[in-house]
């Protein structure tokens, strides 16, 4: 990862305020590229996408990606101060829906994504659902999805400088590498 650049992972349940908080973070940057992973698959999703577009500043560039998220990060990071990826939840769903349904086929995609975050030329904020706190799904595909997303969230959290869990619109900092460095310098 380029010097002075950070990776932030925002986790939370549905409607927890993740996207709104990500936009607050991004508003501090001049050149923002929003990387959207949602597909316009039905009327409800098209309406949701339109609403999200209206909520974003017009100056932000939007790039739509379904499965090649690693490439988009590398290509777009040279032209931005911050990339906002919303969201990993749909990215994993897209991978499963595009024939890469088995763990063994999807893990290399996660590895490439992780590597692209390390090599990004700008800061990156990633939004993802925390799916490990719910009940065990009854359907095998739903369990596979939950396991894959949990695996990706863990992989990104390891390399992230900051991890924030959103609960009822409130950010709870789970990891902050900068705070840890300040504490070590102060001898605490």
Q: What is the DSSP letter of 100?
A: -
Q: Any bridge partners for residue 83, and if so which?
A: 33, 124
CA nearest to 75, candidates 112, 30, 116: 116
Residue written as token pair 């990826």: 85
52 catalytic residue (yes or no): yes
Nearest alpha-carbon partner for 132 in 122, 142, 147, 118: 147
Q: Which of 52, 98, 103, 139 is the catalytic position?
A: 52
H/E stretch holding 92 reads: helix 88-97
Tokens coding 93: 């769903």
DSSP class of residue 83 equals E
Point out the residues that are catalytic. Answer: 52
């Amino acid at each position: 990862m380029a010097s002075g650049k950070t990776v932030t992972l925002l986790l939370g349940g549905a409607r927890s305020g993740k996207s709104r908080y990500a936009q607050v973070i991004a508003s501090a940057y001049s050149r923002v590229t929003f990387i959207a992973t949602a597909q316009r698959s039905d009327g409800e999703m098209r309406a949701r996408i339109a609403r999200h577009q209206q909520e974003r500043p017009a100056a932000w560039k939007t790039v739509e990606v379904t499965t090649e998220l690693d490439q988009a990060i590398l290509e777009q990071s040279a032209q931005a101060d911050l990339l906002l990826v919303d969201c990993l939840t749909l990215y994993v769903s897209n991978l499963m829906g595009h024939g890469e349904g088995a763990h063994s086929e999807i893990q290399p995609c996660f590895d490439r994504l992780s590597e692209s975050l390390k090599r990004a030329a700008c800061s990156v904020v990633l939004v993802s659902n925390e799916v490990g706190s719910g009940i065990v799904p009854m359907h095998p595909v739903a369990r596979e999805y939950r396991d894959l997303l949990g695996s990706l969230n863990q992989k990104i959290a390891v390399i992230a400088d900051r991890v924030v869990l959103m609960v009822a619109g409130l950010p709870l900092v789970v990891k902050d590498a900068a705070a840890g460095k300040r504490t070590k310098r102060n001898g605490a």
